[in-house]
A and B are shown apart, each in its own frame.
Chain A
Amino acid sequence: MKARAEALPTQEMLINMGPQHPSTHGVLRVILRTDGEVVVNARPDVGYLHRALEKIGERVTYAQFMPFTDRLDYLASMNCNAAWAWTVEKLAGIEVPERAEYIRVIVCELNRISSHLIAFGSFTADMGAFTPFLYAIRERERVNDLFEDICGNRLTYNYVRIGGVSADLPDRFLEKTKEFLDYFEPKIPEYNKLISYNKIFVHRLANVAAISGGEAVAYGLTGPNLRGSGVSFDLRRSEPYSVYPKLDFDVCVGTGERGTVGDCFDRYMVRINEMRESVKILRQAIAQIPGGPVMAKVPRAFKPPVGEVYFRAENPRGETGIYLISDGTVNPYRLKLRAPSFVTMNIFEKVTKGLMIADIVAVIGSFDIILPEIDR
């Protein structure tokens, strides 16, 4: 093969996997240089969805910024809302009532399930199996029904407030959540039978883009991407916040069951297993939730003390961190949003060397990136 390659003059192709592409999970542009089907260099080009959220944060008040965090990662909207609330509460030292914390954990875990469902669905759709996407959407619609009951919106919730949540749980919400959990739990083995262990699917993903644990930590990967590489690090366990210390769950780690540890299949299976763990957490939270108020006393014109704080939360896509500097006025002085997908893109160029074009799609899908988060 080598001799022939040298004898035939070949040219590298420069292909633009443009912002408009069915599989790039948003407006991601990847500049591919390929030698036939094999990728020589794949450079991501981001910024098509930049909306200056951090600058907006400097001009609105703390309470007004909450709807903007919805749009940071719209598939894990509750998680981002809660991260912002926890950040400001940490800075100002606000004590949140326990019922509010339990409600926050319940909606965050429900949102984790729905976010992982989309990750699972769109990933399998990229791989060519169009059906599991619709099953995932069907499950997600039921989660959206629960969220519609609780806050009125189906996508960008703006439910969490600084100091608690905006409204108490509606009638029968906990029963409906339990019904959903009973309905959803048997679906996970069905997905595994349908697509996860399908030979073609496994073959597409096993041993593709294997990232070792050391590399993952060095590049700053977090969340399922990090855990897929075998590193057992979950912020809910390592730096617990809210009521997570009272809840019992396992940290899902990639084990290389069908290939190498840290390949695309591992990251995918970590997400499937995390859905199962979220169901466990939800059952415990529903059982343990106390009564009481759902909102602490926060002044209308809220002015936190001067200072800076960094808070990180375990979002479905990784560690969402918010670094906040306050100068004592009603508007933040500076806030920086650490988006997990943005940091994940750092390893993209390295990991795609030598893969085929079809594998690029698999890698993007297995990282579960979302563009509004990358571009903010």
Chain B
Amino acid sequence: MMESLAVSLVNAVPALSGVPLWTMTLLVMVVVAAVVLTFALLYAGLATYVERKVAGDIQARIGPNRVGPLGLLQFLADGIKLLLKEDIIPAKADRFLFALAPYLVFIGSFAAFVVVPFGVGLIASDLNIGVYYVMAISSLVVVGVMLAGWSSNNKWALLGGMRAAAQIVSYEVPVGMALLPAVLIAGSLSLQDIVRSQGGLLGIFGWNLFHNPFTFVSFFLYYTAALAETNRTPFDIPEAESELVSGYHVEYSGIRFAFFFLAEYGDMFVVSALATACFLGGWHVPFLDAEALPVAWGNLFSLGVFLAKALGLVLLMMWIRWTLPRLRVDQLMRMSWKYLVPITFFNLLGVSLWLLVFHGKGIPRMIASLFG
């Protein structure tokens, strides 16, 4: 896709005809990456603001409302504050690993934005192993968290890091297996293909969510397991504020802490985006065929719809956070291995059998075919 963009750019602007193709492609890649990163960071900043506002509303109080109109610039103020803070590295900490850990967590979280299908043609890189890539790259977070816990030379951080490692690794299994039904229905790991497979004029009923009862359950399983992946309450044991005093990022201050924080919100979006793409119809615009529209309008509408769905799921995560208490470590592990894993296995089996028996047709399509 980048190459084709590069080619079309070279053709469109005659002044650039002398530039070799590989430079053009590289340039396009850099620009696209910059755009995606900007979006991701802007989203992460605003997500912190929305979280605080939502928390305030639920808790019978007002969130931030002093900095900027309605407090919208609060995240900028927070960012500047974190930038200006003193960068403290504990005396006996492992300096290299201490500095490396936030970067790994950040990369693990934001590199997944590359395959998120924002719109009809709006995807940074439509890898044919989309889902696989996301699962793989978000596992970098485990390494980062463990490094943070270890290198801080702090027993609380160590405990947090160990808990986080155990938690994230255990929940990778149900996450993967809960996503597989969507892959099976689409027949491809590429996220754009999965989204396209939910299209057609069935509107909302084209969603994978309503395809068959097993995928319906899969969506909730995926959401729960992914909530655990992102260390959100009720699964925020690694960073339990009231117990471990911030767990694995207790020794981090300033911009290093900001990296962890932003990575958490980035992760939330990636997970929600994946859920939207795989189960909630992705960027399909209701009542319209987005791919048939002219390019600009199609992209705009589909982007809007996608963002609405993904951000809605992010909002749901915030709502859950402010309602539920947190699980203890052993209860967390128990939930993953004794509840989520068997049920997702069972689901996977169910979906496979369904697709075999009904030749890949979902319930809405079967009902529609009854009426012709």
**Residues of A bordering B, CB below 8 Å:** 13-15, 21-23, 37, 124-131, 134-135, 138, 194-195, 198, 200-201, 203-204, 356-359, 361
Contact = CB atoms under 8 A, between A and B. Distances in A.
A134 B243 contact: no
B328 A356 contact: yes
Interface string B313-331: 0000000001111111111
Contacts of B240: 128, 358
Contact of A22 (B155, B245, B326, B329): B245
B191 to A, nearest CB: 33
A131 B328 contact: no
B323 A129 contact: yes
Interface string B74-105: 00000000000000000000000000000000
Given A129-B324, A131-B58, A131-B322, A22 B330 contact: no
A4 B58 CA distance: 47
Contacts of A129: 323-326
A127 B241 CA distance: 10
B323 A203 contact: no
Interface in B325-342: 325-331
A21 B60 contact: no
B233 interface: yes
A198 B325 contact: yes
B327 A131 contact: no
B237 interface: yes
Given A22-B245, A128-B242, 9 more contacts: A22-B243, A126-B243, A129-B325, A130-B322, A135-B59, A194-B323, A195-B325, A203-B327, A358-B240
A128 B59 contact: no
B269 interface: no
Contact of A204 (B159, B236, B244, B328): B328
Contact of B242 (A131, A200, A359, A361): A361
A200 B159 contact: no
Interface string B181-206: 00000000000000000000000000
Nearest to A134: B59
B326 to A, nearest CB: 3
A200 B325 contact: yes
Contacts of A195: 325
Contacts of A134: 59-61
28 contacts: A15-B155, A23-B243, A37-B330, A127-B242, A128-B236, A128-B242, A129-B325, A129-B326, A130-B59, A131-B59, A134-B61, A138-B60, A194-B323, A195-B325, A198-B324, A200-B234, A203-B327, A204-B325, A204-B327, A204-B328, A356-B328, A356-B329, A357-B159, A358-B237, A358-B240, A358-B243, A358-B329, A361-B243
A256 B244 CA distance: 29
B58 A358 contact: no
Contacts of B244: 357
B156 interface: yes
Q: Give 6 nearest A-B pairs by CB, closest first.
A: A128-B326, A129-B325, A134-B59, A127-B325, A128-B325, A358-B328
A21 B250 CA distance: 12
A13 B155 contact: yes
Contacts of A135: 59-60
Interface string B229-272: 00001101100111111000000000000000000000000000
Which has the most chain B C-beta neighbours within 10 Å: A124, A125, A201, A358?
Answer: A358
B80 to A, nearest CB: 26
B324 A359 contact: no
A13 B155 CA distance: 8
A3 to B, nearest CB: 21
Contacts of A356: 328-330
Nearest to B58: A131
Nearest to A124: B325
A200 B324 contact: yes
Contacts of B233: 128
A128 B59 CA distance: 14
Which has the most chain A C-beta neighbours within 10 Å: B163, B237, B245?
Answer: B245
B325 A201 contact: yes
A356 B327 CA distance: 12
Contacts of A15: 155-156, 159
Contacts of A194: 323
Contact of A128 (B55, B245, B324): B324
A292 B236 CA distance: 58
A112 B331 CA distance: 34
Contacts of A200: 234, 324-327, 331
B275 to A, nearest CB: 22
A298 to B, nearest CB: 44
Contacts of B243: 22-23, 126, 357-358, 361
A23 B246 CA distance: 12
A22 B242 contact: yes
A49 B24 CA distance: 68
A198 B327 CA distance: 12
Contacts of B331: 200, 203-204
A356 B328 CA distance: 9
B68 to A, nearest CB: 25
A134 B322 CA distance: 11
A357 B158 CA distance: 13
B91 to A, nearest CB: 17
A200 B323 CA distance: 11
Contacts of B156: 15
A127 B59 contact: no
A90 to B, nearest CB: 42
